[in-house]
Amino acid sequence: EEQLDVGLLLTRVQQEMIINGSNPIGTLANYAGYASSGGNRPFDGGFFSDEFAKGYRNLLNISEIIRLTDGDAEMQGQNAIARVMRVYIFHRLTDLYGDIPYSEAVKASSEVITQPMYDTQESIYGSMLDELKELSSVLSETQQGSFGDSDMMYQSDNEKWMRFANSLRLRIALRVRYVDEALAREHISELVNMDLIESNEENAFVPSSDDFDSNQNPVYNRLISNSGILPEHMGQTIVDLLNDQDDPRLTILVTPTPNSVMVADSVGDSNLLEYRGRPLGLEGLERDAYPTSDLSQIGLYYREPVIEMPVLYYSEVCFALAEAKLMLDLGSLEADVWYERGVRADMERYGIDEAEIASFLSSNSLDVVADEEAKLEMIMNQKNIALFPNELEAWSEWRRTGYPKILIGSMVGETDGQIPRRINYPVSEANVNSVNYQEVSTRIGGDLMTTKVWWDANPNVPYEHPGEILVPEP
Amino acid sequence: GVVTDMDGVPLPGVSIVEVGTVNGTQTDFDGSYSIEVAVGSELRFSYLGMKTETRTVQSSNVLNIKMQEDLNQLSEVIVTALGIEKSKKALGYSAQEIDGDAFSEARETNIASSLAGKVAGVQVSNIATGAGGSSRVVIRGNSSISGNDAPLYVVDGIPIDNQNIDPADYAAGGVDYGDGISGINPDDVESMTVLKGPNAAALYGARAANGVILITTKTGGSKKKGIGVTFNSNLTSETIATMPTYQNRFGIGYDPSFGASGTTIIDGKEYEVLDPNQWQSWGPELNGQIVADWEDPTKTFAMVPQPSDNIRNFFQSGFTATNTVSFSSGDEKANMRLSLSNLGNEGIIPGSTYDRQTINFRGFANVTDRFSIDAKVNYIHHKGVNRPGLAASSSNVMSVLIQMPRHIDLDRLKDYKDENGDPFNFTTAFENPYWTINELQNEDERDRVIGFVSMNYKFNDWLNVRARTGTDFYTDERFSRRAIGSRSARTGRVSNYTWHVKENNSDILFTAEDDLSENWSGSLSVGASRLYSKTEVTGALGQSLRVPELYHITNAEQITPRYDKVEREMQSVYAAGQLAYKNYLFLDLTARNDWSSVLGINNYSFFYPSVSTSFVFTDALKLNSNVFSFGKLRAGYAEVGNDSNPYLTTLGYVSNTQTVNGQGQAAIQTQIPNPNLKNELTRSYEFGTDMRFFKNRVGIDFTYYNSSTKNQILPVNISSGTGFNRMVINAGEIQNEGVELLFNVTPIQLKNSFQWDLTLNYAKNKSKVVSLADGIETHIMSQDRWGTIEARPGEDFGNIVGFYYKRNENGEKLLDEYGRYQRDGNNVKILGNIQPDWIAGITNRFSYKGFTLSTLIDIKMGGELLSGTKYIQAARGTGRFTTKGLRQNEDGVWVGVADGVMENDYYVDDGNGNQVLHLAAGERSDIELDRVNLYGMWTRADIIEEFVLDASYISLREINLGYSFSEKLLAKTPFTSARISLVGRNLLYLQEHMDGIGVTPEAAFSSESGSQGSESYTLPSTRSVGVNLNVAF
């Protein structure tokens, strides 16, 4: 039998899960406060049937790399990297759905379990944290074998993968803070002393590529496929966050409204440019208050065919450590130091010059508010901006903490007017894996978009509808 | 005189004609007749079941005739498996033959489609995919669910390729480029015989498990002196028969307001600018509201509905002309026939054409007394231009037309591009349909040769050998292009694929046949065959065109090559024996062993036998009488093995043709193979009887069958949690049970030559999934947001499953807190089944002198379909059904009330801030809902129940009014015969239950068996009316 070049499999997985892994104007981005899609009804569900199959399809290929390299002394480098990718994909899936097939999933074709059971998210989180802990030490020892350039993320650099594994473990551990603080504390207390991603140079991302349409930035493809007109607009949440604090990232992430451009052009005064996002779930007259000519869209920076498709950035590590210090008192540096590092890292990612960064930080320091919850809100607001365009992670952090606050219109949908807390299992599971599907549905309290996943345990969210949507005079 | 049979029994109704004239009469009840003729003239006596007699009138005034039973007619010969001719009398199973005229006058371009309603137990669906499209023929229900349940087509004894390469699919769409049978010219067909059950088909082996359709083409005959020339011309016009129905009152909008993206000032007044991103039609009533023009916002536009037929006017009348000329000649020693035909079609979609030319040569020669050669070459050329895109295909104009807002005047879209070549449309949400038909183009051209050589050598009186080899090969070149700016290919696209398909069949058969004793006779055939087939495609897809409108692959920046090759081989040996006792008791035995290349290495050889018997009890028990003319009982048991598609036995990786960041990519294939794959096996038994009464004026043929197919080879869906999406199983059982009835009667047969013949066929089939593999709950045959179609163990095959209304125990719909419909959570249930309860065909044929009038009524009762057209129209608010039960409330908004009761108590504000009970739980709702909350809920909540429609129909399938000029009239012309007919096909539905949505109930069937029962964006179906002229000289 011919041996497959396992690098071909890894490239495919990175293409599907990372290059085609996030979309800052898709439906999930609505839930993250990033976007407001045109005619979509974001609370109606039914948008995500492919995520499940796509995740497991790629897990199968990652597992195949692990099987093909297991026990091969010369391929332990590939083996360890594949195991990190495996955790990364499982983590995405469980954050989308909650309980998912894990221990019985993605077996080799000869040992397939056609109806895999659903493991609890709690057990999956425990397993992922342990796995990453082990992989950190595996990767820090010298390992034979490299993917070379087939690894589009780190070119098989084991040290960077080790830092990524630790940072991913930090992301996962922090996620359980409200539901199992002891577990979060156990892992984060180790991680604060370990090698994490320490600069933008170590950021985890895969560049999209313009050799084929399917490898291009999804926003660019959306533009191309829609005659250069984006039906999606920016969410009110992120535009207000950027606008209210005079954030230099505003003009990078967001375009001015068409009407204000017309006005500004006519008098030649760029100060007249306006930035306005649209709240989520508008109905009827509410929608009329937000005509598209008065709405902003995603900035030119994210409309290029080749961009960085995000996985995990240094800024996220900083905000995680800020929260760890603030809420758990873990680590040596103070929260405001990590907060500033996080803001700075994200601004540097966009090439914003030092003067603007310093000016922003001087007027938006963490010290301006006293109480812990307000500090946390500031951290989370900045984290939301820094995560852009990683909408899944931003939505997860909103579910976990309730920040940033997201305004909702009066649309009811399937969620009784609430932002979804998870997405539905694909209908096919009810058909082809019905016993396990029924069991898990009952266990989690119904396969609903309003069912909270295990770690979604902060009693303070979701916030009540603030009712701040203004309906103008007819 | 008096006409009697050989026993002296008088024969009533014998037709007597003076040869060469229209002078004629019939015998009366006593068998006596009288006619005035001159001495020396010739009288021809003819009667069904009797040999025709011709006598010259002598000087005597009395001419008594004893007519002889025509054994050839009573025990008509029928072509059976491997081309073995058998008398019908001896047949132990059901087979039905149809004369070629039935296909050539009121014709379909695809000859298989014209079987509809003509054969008991054969279900044919008319698929609206344009001329040159595929047929869908299912015999005795679905036995195999794996993908191929089409019958095997055998032309002149040699199987032909009938695959549909790159077929259209109801979900993904695509273009229907036609199947293999679509190349056959109906004018070349002498007859078609349908071998229905495994018994009939057992000798054809694996591919015959779904039945066989034998096509016999015309030969030169043995009686023609000189060269006979026949010319047939068929001209028909196709017009729209069914067309989606539209609401014609409400405008664009997500709710009862025109969604505006802002306002603009025109002549000092402010007007709304319609949002170019929206496309739904839940807006206010169109009553001339003035808004900014959607094309030019410096002008105003009055929102008024278009004429109700504006969408219909997008289409045109189709036209099909077929002309065939044939030359034939022959005597006892040799004969030949050559035919040339040309078919030209213009479709109902502007710019869509189909042309087909065929040349068919058949020659036969008795080289010596012992050695004969039969050979045929059939060349077929066809070319399709802009075949319509189907289903969800972006090139399907219906996908746009069914959701077109009502204020859009299609004429304003005709200039579909601007001066820069960019598409012009009123919305960014979908394509301008004129752009679609002009800028999304395809062209395909096929050159095909079907031929065979057959040699027969008689060793002696009782032993002969026949060796044959046949081939069917073609090249199909397919080109498609999409202009830069097309929604489905913004950067432009061009593709060229060339298919090479080849199927070779060779066989040798020794046959021994003789009387064994005075009462016993028998025959034995032993043979072997080899099938080899290959399908290969090469070509490339190019995307991102550098230079606009240059559709050459080198002009593309992104090029994706394609190469696929599928090969298979099957070797077989077989034997067939027949034993006959006194020409009334027959026993047939067959056995066959196949070696198939597609099965597992340890399981690739499989054996299967069949046995059948026929007992002509009227002969055996001497029951023949004028009343009871003929009676036969038959019984059979058969096994047939079936293999599968190739390449299901090993796991592989799929290498991606596209790189990313310069890196190659690969993935594991998504289907789990089965290395031990073995054949499917169908076991079937059937019983039947064939009885004729009143000197054959009444005939009844009845069959009961029961067949079960085990070891189903099929890729079943498994949990995505496995990482795979399918697993090839080799287990499970599908059972088909049914009855077929064929009833012929000649109710009226008058002396003046008026005759009425009635043929009725009826079939009922029940297809049940007995089991699948362990750990497999269901096989999902199709899945879309409007539900799934499944094969689930213990249930009927083809259940439609989906979400349904939340109801209380009384069956009333439970409404939510806003008075809207809701679905019952994520629970699904069986909402219907795609199988019909029964199908039938009724043919009435009236003849008088040279005139004939025949009508065919085709009936399908029971069975449901899932309508994606209704789903989309419900999602967009364009369907006529979205205006039912509306009234205008005090705010001028059109509202309706959902048909149901409140699930919970419903409170309203009394105006003083107090909540008072308005409706208690269980009370009927009176809550006013706007259209989107009334009808839009069907799709917003995915209440699939609403989209399951009754697919029953009674169709007036065919009318044919013909006149044959009499020989007397023709005597002074060069013609030996001439016939002219007015023909109509698919004329109208006498009954259908599609909820008035304007989609044909036959829409839900494609030529792919995985795509049954669900339709989406179906093209309008057409009726064809025309004229057929046939002359010979």
Question: Is pLDDT of B473 > 80?
Answer: yes
State the Cα angle at B230 between B224 and B231, rounded to 5°.
175
Judged by CB atoms within 8 Å, which residues 822-861 of B form the interface with A?
825-826, 828
Looking at residue B74, what is its pLDDT?
45
Subunit contact B725:A57, Cβ cutoff 8 A: yes
Q: Which residue has the tokens 């902060």?
A: A458
Question: Is pLDDT of A31 > 60?
Answer: yes
Do both B269 and B160 map to the same domain? no
Q: Is the CB of B543 inside 8 Å of chain A's CB atoms? A: yes
Mean pLDDT of A177-186: 97
Q: How far apart are CA B592 and CA B607, in angstroms?
A: 6
Tell me how close the Cα of A213 comes to any Cα of chain B, in angstroms: 9
The minimal CB distance from A9 to the residues B276, B662, B667 is found for B667
Q: Mean pLDDT lowest for which of A206-210, A405-409, B456-460? A: A405-409
Q: Is the CB of B350 inside 8 Å of chain A's CB atoms? A: no
Mean pLDDT of A245-261: 94
Q: Is the CB of B279 inside 8 Å of chain A's CB atoms? A: yes
Question: Is pLDDT of B361 > 90?
Answer: yes
Judged by CB atoms within 8 Å, which residues 800-829 of B form the interface with A?
801, 818, 825-826, 828
Looking at residue B1007, what is its pLDDT?
64
Q: What is the DSSP string of B256-300?
A: SB--EEEEEEETTEEEEEE-TT---B---B-S-EEEE-SS-TTSE
Looking at residue B1009, what is its pLDDT?
63
Q: What is the DSSP string of B585-619?
A: EEEEEEEEEEEETTS-TTS-EEEEEEEEEEE-HHH
**Three-state DSSP string of A406-474:** CCECCCCHHHCCCCCCCCCCCHHHHHHCHHHHHHHHHHHCCCCCCCCCCCCCCCCCCCCCCCCCCCCCC
Backbone angles phi, psi at A180, to 5 degrees: -150, 80
Highest mean pLDDT among A163-167, B247-251, B421-425, B1028-1032: A163-167
Note the helical H segments in B796-919. Answer: 868-876
- Residue B995 forms part of a structural domain: yes
Mean pLDDT of B489-506: 94
Question: Is pLDDT of A331 > 70?
Answer: yes
Q: Output the CA torsion B815→B821→B824→B827 (10° steps).
A: 180
Backbone angles phi, psi at B112, to 5 degrees: -65, -30
Question: Is pLDDT of A148 > 60?
Answer: yes
Rounded to two decimals, the ipTM of the complex is 0.93
Q: Is the CB of A227 inside 8 Å of chain B's CB atoms? A: yes
- Residue B257 forms part of a structural domain: yes
- Sheet of strand B158-159: strand arrangement: B95-99, B189-195, B212-217, B152-155, B158-159
Do both B434 and B456 map to the same domain? yes
The total of structural domains in chain B comes to 3
Chain A with chain B: Cβ pairs closer than 8 A: 210
**Residues of chain A found within 8 Å of residue B429, distances taken between Cβ atoms:** 39, 231
Predicted confidence band at B983 (pLDDT cuts at 50, 70, 90)? Answer: very high
**pLDDT (tens digit, 9 = 90+) per residue, B881-924?**
999 999 999 988 999 999 999 999 999 888 888 889 999 999 99
Question: Is pLDDT of A339 > 90?
Answer: yes
Looking at residue B1011, what is its pLDDT?
67
pLDDT top residue among A466 and A204:
A204
- Residue B566 forms part of a structural domain: yes
Q: What residues make up the domain containing B406?
A: 111-122+150-241+317-798+834-869+950-1032
Tokens in use for B536?
Answer: 């290969």
Give the best residue of A4, A6, A12, A103 to mutate against chain B (max B CB count within 10 A): A12
Q: How far apart are CA B894 and CA A167, in angstroms?
A: 57
Question: Is pLDDT of A40 > 80?
Answer: no
Mean pLDDT of B645-649: 86
**pLDDT (tens digit, 9 = 90+) per residue, B262-284?**
788 899 999 988 887 778 899 99
Do both B460 and B606 map to the same domain? yes
Note the helical H segments in A70-180. Answer: 76-97, 121-140, 158-175
Mean pLDDT of A306-334: 97
Do both B718 and B679 map to the same domain? yes
Residue A276: closest CA among A297, A295, A300, A254: A295
Domains of chain A in start order, with CATH, are 6-214+304-444 (1.25.40.390)
Looking at residue B256, what is its pLDDT?
84
Judged by CB atoms within 8 Å, which residues 439-468 of A form the interface with B?
441, 446-447
Do both B257 and B230 map to the same domain? no
Contact B484, B545 (CB under 8 A): yes
Q: Is the CB of B451 inside 8 Å of chain A's CB atoms? A: no
Q: How far apart are CA B313 and CA A356, in angstroms?
A: 62
Residue A452: closest CA among A420, A408, A418, A417: A420
Q: How far apart are CA B158 and CA B471, in angstroms?
A: 8
Looking at residue B143, what is its pLDDT?
64
- Residue B104 forms part of a structural domain: no
Q: How far apart are CA B605 and CA B40, in angstroms?
A: 69
Considering only CA atoms, give the Rg of chain B.
32
Looking at residue B1006, what is its pLDDT?
67
Contact B430, B279 (CB under 8 A): yes
Question: Is pLDDT of A76 > 80?
Answer: yes
The CA-atom distances, in angstroms, between A305 and each of A209, A215, A221, B890, B971 are 7, 9, 8, 52, 80
Q: Mean pLDDT lowest for which of A177-191, B244-258, B495-509? A: B244-258
- Residue B1011 forms part of a structural domain: yes
Looking at residue B76, what is its pLDDT?
66
Give the chain A residue whose CA is nearest to the CA of B280: A39
Q: How far apart are CA B801 and CA A432, in angstroms?
A: 13
Q: Mean pLDDT lowest for which of A177-181, B93-97, B420-424, B795-799? A: B93-97
Highest mean pLDDT among A90-94, B777-781, B848-852: A90-94
The minimal CB distance from A8 to the residues B278, B658, B665 is found for B665
Do both B49 and B196 map to the same domain? no
**Residues of chain A found within 8 Å of residue B789, distances taken between Cβ atoms:** none
Give the best residue of B720, B776, B932 to mutate against chain A (max A CB count within 10 A): B720
**Residues of chain B found within 8 Å of residue A431, distances taken between Cβ atoms:** 717, 777-778, 780, 788, 790, 801, 828
**What pairing do the DSSP bridges indicate for beta strands B300-303 and B289-292?**
antiparallel
Q: What is the CATH number of the domain that holds B14?
A: 2.60.40.1120
Do both B563 and B506 map to the same domain? yes
Do both B181 and B258 map to the same domain? no
**pLDDT (tens digit, 9 = 90+) per residue, B742-783?**
999 999 988 788 999 999 999 999 999 999 888 888 888 887
Other beta carbons less than 10 A from residue B58's beta carbon: 10
Looking at residue B346, what is its pLDDT?
95
Predicted confidence band at A296 (pLDDT cuts at 50, 70, 90)? Answer: very high
Give the chain A residue whose CA is nearest to the CA of B652: A4
Portion of chain B with pLDDT greater than 90, in percent: 55
Tell me how close the Cα of A457 comes to any Cα of chain B, in angstroms: 25
Contact A327, A380 (CB under 8 A): no
CA B278 to mean position of chain CA atoms: 38
Do both B292 and B332 map to the same domain? no
Note the helical H segments in B883-983. Answer: 931-934, 937-940, 967-970
Q: How far apart are CA B634 and CA B306, in angstroms?
A: 63
**Residues of chain B found within 8 Å of residue A7, distances taken between Cβ atoms:** 663
pLDDT top residue among A468 and B171:
B171
What does pLDDT average to over chain A? 91
Looking at residue A472, what is its pLDDT?
40
Looking at residue B225, what is its pLDDT?
65
Contact B683, B610 (CB under 8 A): no
Strand partners, B44: B17, B54
Other beta carbons less than 10 A from residue B383's beta carbon: 16
Considering only CA atoms, give the Rg of chain A.
22
Tell me how close the Cα of A156 comes to any Cα of chain B, in angstroms: 14
Tell me how close the Cα of B304 comes to any Cα of chain A, in angstroms: 22
Mean pLDDT of B832-861: 93
Q: Is the CB of B675 inside 8 Å of chain A's CB atoms? A: no
Contact B562, B537 (CB under 8 A): yes
- Residue B596 forms part of a structural domain: yes
Do both B711 and B790 map to the same domain? yes
Count of alpha carbons within 13 Å of B167, Cβ hemisphere only? Answer: 22
Q: Mean pLDDT lowest for which of A437-446, B205-214, B306-315, B566-575? A: B205-214
**Residues of chain A found within 8 Å of residue B779, distances taken between Cβ atoms:** none
Mean pLDDT of A435-439: 95
Looking at residue A466, what is its pLDDT?
47
**pLDDT (tens digit, 9 = 90+) per residue, B49-86?**
677 788 888 888 888 888 876 654 444 677 777 777 77
Subunit contact A227:B672, Cβ cutoff 8 A: no
**Residues of chain A found within 8 Å of residue B543, distances taken between Cβ atoms:** 212-213
Tell me how close the Cα of B828 comes to any Cα of chain A, in angstroms: 9
Do both B601 and B712 map to the same domain? yes
Give the best residue of B661, B725, B789, B895 to mutate against chain A (max A CB count within 10 A): B661
Do both B286 and B369 map to the same domain? no
Residue B802: closest CA among B935, B939, B900, B942: B942
Q: What is the CATH number of the domain that holds B743?
A: 2.40.170.20
